[in-house]
Structure 1
Amino acid sequence: MLTVQAGLSTAQVAERIATGQVNDVPVRSGRSVGEIVKANLFTRINAIMGVLFGVILAVGPIQDALFGGVIIANTLIGVVQELRAKRTLDRLAIVGAARPVVRRDGQAVEVAAADLVLDDLIELGPGDQIAVDGVVTESEQLEVDESLLTGEADPVVKQVGDPLLSGSFVTAGSGAFTATKVGRAAYAARLAEEASRFTLVNSELRGGLNTILRFVTWLIIPTGLALIVSQYLVNSDDVPEAVRRMVAGLVPMVPEGLVLLTSVAFAVGVIRLGRRRCLVQELPAIEGLARVSVVCLDKTGTLTDSAMDVTEVRQLDPDAPVAQVLGMLGVADERPNASLRAIVDAYPVPAGWGVLDRVPFSSARKWSGATLTDPSGTIADWRLGAPDVLLPAGHPVLAEADGYGARGLRVLLLAREGSEEGALLLQKAITRGPSLHPVALVVLGQRVREEAARTLRYFAEQGVAVKVISGDNALSVGAVARSLGLPGAEDPIDARTLPADPVELAEAVDRHTVFGRVGPQQKRDMVAALQARGHTVAMTGDGVNDVLALKDADIGVAMGSGSPASRAVAQIVLLDNNFAALPAVVAEGRRVIGNIERVANLFLTKTVYSVLLAIVVVLSQVPYPFLPRHLTIISSLTIGIPAFFLALAPNNERARPGFVGRVLRFAVPGGLVAMAATITSYLFARSVYGGDLAAETSAATLTLFLVGLWAVAIIARPYTWWRILLVAAMGTGFAVVLLVPFLQEFFQLSLVGTTAPGVAVALAVAAGLLLELIRAGLRPRVARRSEPHSL
């Protein structure tokens, strides 16, 4: 039995804190407030826009410097949203953080991981994450999984004196260890710090945007230089006018709001999920869930409540002291799982009984046991676990157990060893055989979560396949899944019959829906098999047996009440243990990805037509058609304001790979059409007005605005009332500018006569119809790629 040690005293803890011997690894999150401000202010785009803003301020007038407001708005919005997201994450992280149990002054107390000090005595139980390095000082059948560090899947039995590494976790047994390395000196401290950082690393969306921005930069540099020279030569007699028109040509080339809206969309996603008590531990997880094609669920704690009740005990041996043995097995385990907790609640500890030895429950073994003495001094070995694991195939008791399982009940077998006394040792490898004497079937009832059927229905409607992967009996798991209407649940598979060959395993997992008796390593293999078939896999879980699969899945989702180890490796933690929150998480990811793609079409179309327009102006040796003020109003009404609303709108379309290609397939021809219509309108107006630059610019502005508004109308589909209102409001805003004398003068817009304006509108309509054809040509390809994976 364990020799209980007292641990450090309060004075010893204070002494170690004073000398800095504390586990001071940062718990969260990303950037400090100063770093957030710096990252949002000192950007490449802000630098470009800032230089152009300074140039315009030097030559005036002020209305041509309105685009400078974009710098301020981008910075303020980015800073505010990221700070809000940081506060949300940090607040939730405190709630969701693991709290190790340490012994101080002889008392067991919970502390934050950051408050551990050198030489602390830390208690361990199943599912506990080992937060610092140390040496085992107490061990009772302690088993530790170090696979997250070493890659070795088999649990390691730890005896007194054995080392423990931070980052590993307890799979079975209990004990305590003394901390020998804390803070950044611990083995996995740096790894854990990096893994928990709030970051955009490895984001396909972010990578796509960076690719686009690099492409745009290479376009802007030569085009901008050519435009500067061209406008100086064309307007050599009016240098300020040349400067203004040169700046007007450069400003729209920069997709100034695209990066901002991406950051805002992610940050708002974090805030929205935070309100649902979802802790996003890695920002790309929001994006990853949008791409999920398969969700793997555990039964217990996900489809059913974790709490169970003993509904029946079917006594097979009328002479066996079943109630007393069950009461003792409950007290023999210091960290009982949900099944054993139900037995503890139902059966009190009997008087006169004792525990000589015990084997804790393990997900790999699927049984626990103890060597017990009764009041008469008789010693016997008892096991409690899965009937189909403890008994050989074909045993008559299994048929009765399967009958309960088919009704969705969990069944445990209580069995007595028929061999020599005191033989129940961890090293004894026999798990089934004739020496086991069945004594009773313990039937446990579980309550199906009322939201489970609705959640499964959501995934089916969204084309996301659901796989139920459980350690329970396959018949029991299948019965629960059938009651929820899950397709394929009528054919549950015992995972012990699955092929070991990876290709054959992938085919079997892809073909079936419900799996029982799945071991921890097998869960991991099944996730890998689905990924090998091209699926993006999300895995949910709460127990220590789920850790390996959670770590390897594309997205790991842990329950807040789950083991510290499962929460530590998951990208998303559902702090309220509410499985029904998962559709909201998926929907949030789809909103972010789908909407960023929408607005990227607008921003990149603007960049393309700006670059092409500059090239044509350079070749034609004419004044640039616009002043900065004209492009400010066009960009605001056809890109900036609509994009802001569209970026935050609901969007349920599943994200697909190929983001950059899809955006460019619309933006490049769309920008070409917009440029062609605008330059044609401008050149025609020059032939009509014969040098009235204000009238010529007004006609070109009208054409470009109408084409841009048409693009917004296309991107905003499918229409809802507010999307229609948004498009109408943008059109109304431009009409107000054209009709109000003060605004006409301020923006230097004046439509003269009817000929040039009429041609401007006709060209815009023709360009809009071409945009419709471009969009229609892309739709079949989009439809094909959006089809769900065949399952």
Structure 2
Amino acid sequence: MRASFTQGFSHFLRRRRARRHFERRPLLDTLAAQPAARSADAAGWGRELLAASLAEPAQALQRLQSQADGLDAAEAARRLARDGPNEVQHEAPLPGWLRLWRCWLNPFNLLLTALALLSFFSADAKATVVIGFMVALSTGIRFVQEGRSHRAAEGLRALVTNTAAVIRRGNPPALPPARTQELPVHDLVAGDLVALSAGDMVPADCRLLSARDLFVAQAAMTGESLPVEKLAAAAASGTVALEQRNLVFMGTNVVSGTAEALVLATGARSYFGLLAAHAGALETAPNAFQAGVNSVSWLLIRFAAVMVPIVFFINGFTKGDWLQAFLFSLSVAVGLTPEMLPMIVTTTLAKGAVRLARLKVVVKRLDAIQNFGAMDVLCTDKTGTLTQDRVALARHADPCGQDSTEVLGLAFLNSHYQTGLKNLLDHAVLADVDPATERRLAEAYRKVDELPFDFERRRMSVVVAAMVDGREQRHELICKGAVEEVLAACTRARVARPAGGDASQQPLSLPLDAALRARTGAVTAGLSAEGLRVVAVAVKLLPPEQARYSVADESGLTLVGYIAFLDPPKESAAPALTRLAAHGIAVKVLTGDNEQVTRQVCRQVGVPVDAVLLGAEVEALSDAELQAAADSHRVFAKLTPLHKERIVRALRERGHVVGFMGDGINDAPALRAADIGISVDSAVDIAKEAADIILLEKSLLVLDAGVVEGRSTFCNMLKYIRMTASGNFGNVLSVLVASAFLPFLPMLPLQLLVQNLLYDIAQTGIPFDKVDAELVARPLRWNPADIGRFMLFFGPISSLFDILTFGLMWWVFDANSLARQTLFQSGWFVVGLLTQTLVVHMVRTPRLPFVQSHAAAPLMAMTAAIVAVGLWLPNGPLAAYFSLQALPPSYYGWLLAIVLGYCTLTTWMKRVYIRRYGWQ
């Protein structure tokens, strides 16, 4: 495969990596632990794969009714119609009724439903209707928003293509006999032939037909921590399919080497599909985002559980009407319940994901948005992020630095004939050779064998036969790779003859002694100092009789020279780094490239390079020492994949929220280890599978914009939680005071429910609100203690003005008897609703509301509408239904004074709060 693997595998592995800890519990253990998995289906799967494993390649093809050049398109279409798409149906669309049930099923709706039932059995029909409407509103809005979010997420995932390299016969026969083509993964069928190379995810359960130095990481399946070598030869025996060396399985990934494989089982018939079908009972611990929401939810529920009984007993003892006290306490419980929290969270995240998509950021998991905003350290590679990812061949020189066309020709043959994952350097070499030379070299040499690249050797070789008149004269092993690793395998060097000699004579082949090594080292150091990436090229002449080669043949090489590449820095890199720093994100460069090139690029883009920590030094440090070193260093070079992973984990242990941006095979461990894995749509499959967020453009500017949007999304959620917590606390204090001193209820249960319903409707504009720039300037994290402090700080302010309203209605408007209680309740109903609604604008920003910071139009419209409804209800035709009455004209002057006083005091207290605690 060349792109992201099926959504099923990404989702399933992520569920098993609760809170981003990369567990290596093998899925084989999961199957063994579940009786349902030991079914006839599992047994049948094992028998089929074992039979294919024990058969010779030709027999395996015959069993699947396939051929050595693959299926034709017509036959593949018939099989696809018969077997269905190659997809793991782990997350089939839920029926509408079940989605509706899940939208209802949350702690707040359960509480409200219980309150509605109690009201119903208490013969309070009005309260039952209002509470039922609130439950229906919360559930319905969440149902609609989750449906939209799901459709949007499906559309976003479609932006990341899923393809595999499939060998299909020509159809109709006029086409070439066989060809490799990129096809969607879900179109694969049993009997197809697929080509695999480094970086690919295995798209189905397959039997290898040919393999070359193939190593597959299958830890998720078997628990083996190291990649397993796979071979094409028929197995001699075996009883467990997972142990067969010639079988590869859906969801594993190719670390190095190449192979051609026959698809045996797809979709739900694959081993992974069987596991996914029985994985429904697996539970995962909540991630940091879910834990934060849960902590806030239970904080408010515990608060209600303490305060509601107090309200009940005070009203029962002071009023003597225990039934009315019970109904009123139920209403208070409803008022304390942030029933819109699930809907607000879902809507805010969904809107954030859509806005991020417009910024070319695809969010694979909505919960990742919070970690995106909390990120304070970004680890990134160098190539393509800080540089243009548009490599050009700048020099091709011999070991002494003289231009050499021979080096270019050998580098071309190496890049041309390798079948593994061609990188940017290979493409640059191929592009630098003119068509005439390309044809001449292709006619003069024939490929014999290949030693694919791996991250231990850091080099790769091809073996070609030099052809003269159609006959092989000799074999040449051409090795290309990192300078140090290639030099380690060299014993001689090919240098030009001294000036004045016969130009037609061949270069000299000299022993690679210390002096010559120092001379070649000076050449490579000079090229690296110019900001060039240097790759060494070496050759070894071999007799034509040898047919198979191994890594052991990469010895006794002759250094031919170097090819040097220029990858200029991006113009956007320096401004992007400045923006990230302004937003509180420290950027650390983690690269496998050498120190000199890394220093040069970092200097060009403005990354301070006081000291570079090298991979060898990382290897020597203990975990504790690495934590300190990772914190203090900004640039790391010559790293292996495991070094990157260790650095990321070390930074997390220091308390940082770490993002890692990478797109290569070697980045996958670090992507999994990071709090937030970031990749790009052009990355290899395993990198995209491990990532939480996919960038459609590999740019730090895009990333910075995404971070700001992620923080804005999180800020809007915090607004609602803060408003709800402080408003609820203030209401309870007011109710307690009023219940203790008034001879009647300060507000009827129905009025309290209607007030709460209108307030909740006003909050539906919060997900669309704007966020002040200073609120997204620093990383944001969940802080339940801060929410509790905010509640205790601002809640009593609304209680103060409620008490002033009580005095106003009691002494000024003489609403001080049972006969005048409706006037009292109407006055507090309006004040309470207006102050609760206006507090949205007071606490949505640390700035001066309506002057220095304006809410978004949807939030302004919703709050204005609710204020209008609150003023209209006591005077409208529904007043009697809600036991309200028209207020005297003089009341509205006092109302304006109370609202202005409330806004003024809240604004002043905000300044005090910010000075003492900061805003967030």
CA deviation profile, 1:646-700 (whole Å, cap 9, x unmatched): 6642351545445222111111343344335424642663454321113322443
Which of 401, 404, 408 is matched with 2:531 structurally? 408
Q: Does 1:38 align with 2:101?
A: yes
Q: Does 1:497 align with 2:610?
A: no
Larger CA deviation: 555-564 vs 591-600:
591-600
TM-score, scaled relative to structure 1: 0.85
Residue matched to 2:457: 365
Show structure 1 runs of 5+ residues with no match.
787-791
Q: Does 1:717 align with 2:717?
A: no
Query: How much has 1:334 moved relative to structure 2?
Result: 1.8
Residue matched to 2:802: 678
Equivalent position SS for 1:296: strand
**2-structure distance, mates of 1:81, 1:219:** 29
**2-structure distance, mates of 1:229, 1:544:** 65
**1-structure distance, mates of 2:276, 2:623:** 31
**1-structure distance, mates of 2:583, 2:275:** 36
Aligned-partner residue type, residue 799 of structure 2: M
**Percent same amino acid at aligned positions?**
23
Which of 334, 341, 348 is matched with 2:419 structurally? 334
Residue matched to 2:293: 209
Query: How much has 1:321 moved relative to structure 2?
Result: 3.0
**2-structure distance, mates of 1:386, 1:502:** 28
Residue matched to 2:142: 78
Equivalent position SS for 1:95: coil
Once the two structures are superposed, the pairs formed by residues 257-268 of structure 1 within 5 Å of their partners are 257-268=340-351
Equivalent position SS for 2:162: coil
Q: Does 1:304 align with 2:387?
A: yes
Aligned-partner residue type, residue 854 of structure 2: W
Aligned-partner residue type, residue 475 of structure 1: Q
Query: How much has 1:26 moved relative to structure 2?
Result: 2.9
Residue matched to 2:667: 546
Query: Would you say the 8 A contact 1:625–1:696 is kept in 2?
Result: yes
Residue matched to 1:522: 643
Which of 519, 527, 532 is matched with 1:396 structurally? 519
CA deviation profile, 1:602-627 (whole Å, cap 9, x unmatched): 11123323444454555557433124
Query: How much has 1:489 moved relative to structure 2?
Result: 3.3
Query: Would you say the 8 A contact 2:290–2:367 is kept in 1?
Result: no
Query: How much has 1:21 moved relative to structure 2?
Result: 7.8
Query: Would you say the 8 A contact 1:23–1:114 is kept in 2?
Result: yes
- Paired residues in the alignment total 777
Larger CA deviation: 359-368 vs 611-620:
611-620
Once the two structures are superposed, the pairs formed by residues 543-692 of structure 1 within 5 Å of their partners are 543-616=664-737, 619-620=740-741, 622-627=743-748, 631=752, 635=756, 640-641=761-762, 644-645=765-766, 648-650=769-771, 651-675=775-799, 677-679=801-803, 681-682=805-806, 685-686=809-810, 688-691=814-817, 692=820
Show structure 2 runs of 5+ residues with no match.
1-56, 59-66, 170-177, 234-244, 489-513
Query: Would you say the 8 A contact 1:527–1:549 is kept in 2?
Result: yes
Residue matched to 1:354: 446
Equivalent position SS for 1:378: strand
TM-score, scaled relative to structure 2: 0.74
**1-structure distance, mates of 2:623, 2:553:** 27
Residue matched to 2:581: 460
Residue matched to 2:503: none
Larger CA deviation: 268-277 vs 671-680:
671-680
**2-structure distance, mates of 1:143, 1:416:** 25
Once the two structures are superposed, the pairs formed by residues 95-244 of structure 1 within 5 Å of their partners are 95-105=159-169, 106-147=178-219, 149=221, 154-161=226-233, 162=245, 163-184=247-268, 186-189=270-273, 202-220=286-304, 224=308
Change (3 A) 1:745 1:152: closer
Query: Would you say the 8 A contact 1:642–1:712 is kept in 2?
Result: no
Query: How much has 1:328 moved relative to structure 2?
Result: 1.3
Change (3 A) 1:775 1:689: same
Residue matched to 2:633: 512
Equivalent position SS for 2:158: helix
**1-structure distance, mates of 2:543, 2:146:** 66
Aligned-partner residue type, residue 855 of structure 2: R
Residue matched to 1:378: 474
Equivalent position SS for 1:139: strand
Q: Does 1:87 align with 2:189?
A: no
**2-structure distance, mates of 1:117, 1:524:** 36
Query: Would you say the 8 A contact 2:218–2:253 is kept in 1?
Result: yes
**1-structure distance, mates of 2:671, 2:700:** 16
Larger CA deviation: 298-307 vs 70-79:
70-79
Change (3 A) 1:740 1:631: closer
Change (3 A) 1:740 1:190: same
Aligned-partner residue type, residue 363 of structure 1: F
Which of 514, 536, 539 is matched with 2:657 structurally? 536
Change (3 A) 1:5 1:576: farther
CA deviation profile, 1:60-111 (whole Å, cap 9, x unmatched): 9989966765445433432332222212221232331431223344443433
Query: How much has 1:330 moved relative to structure 2?
Result: 1.8
Query: How much has 1:384 moved relative to structure 2?
Result: 1.0
**1-structure distance, mates of 2:601, 2:646:** 24
**2-structure distance, mates of 1:681, 1:576:** 57
Residue matched to 1:789: none
Query: Would you say the 8 A contact 1:408–1:479 is kept in 2?
Result: yes
**2-structure distance, mates of 1:232, 1:56:** 20
**2-structure distance, mates of 1:742, 1:60:** 24
**2-structure distance, mates of 1:612, 1:223:** 9
Query: Would you say the 8 A contact 1:303–1:452 is kept in 2?
Result: yes
Larger CA deviation: 114-123 vs 611-620:
611-620
Query: Would you say the 8 A contact 1:703–1:764 is kept in 2?
Result: no
Equivalent position SS for 2:388: strand
Query: How much has 1:713 moved relative to structure 2?
Result: 1.0
Larger CA deviation: 751-760 vs 576-585:
751-760
**2-structure distance, mates of 1:256, 1:732:** 20
Change (3 A) 1:532 1:673: same
Change (3 A) 1:778 1:763: same
Query: How much has 1:175 moved relative to structure 2?
Result: 0.8
Residue matched to 1:7: 70
Change (3 A) 1:200 1:274: farther
Query: Would you say the 8 A contact 2:134–2:757 is kept in 1?
Result: no
Query: How much has 1:560 moved relative to structure 2?
Result: 0.4
**1-structure distance, mates of 2:662, 2:860:** 44
Equivalent position SS for 2:416: helix
**1-structure distance, mates of 2:711, 2:577:** 18
Aligned-partner residue type, residue 463 of structure 2: T
Equivalent position SS for 1:373: strand
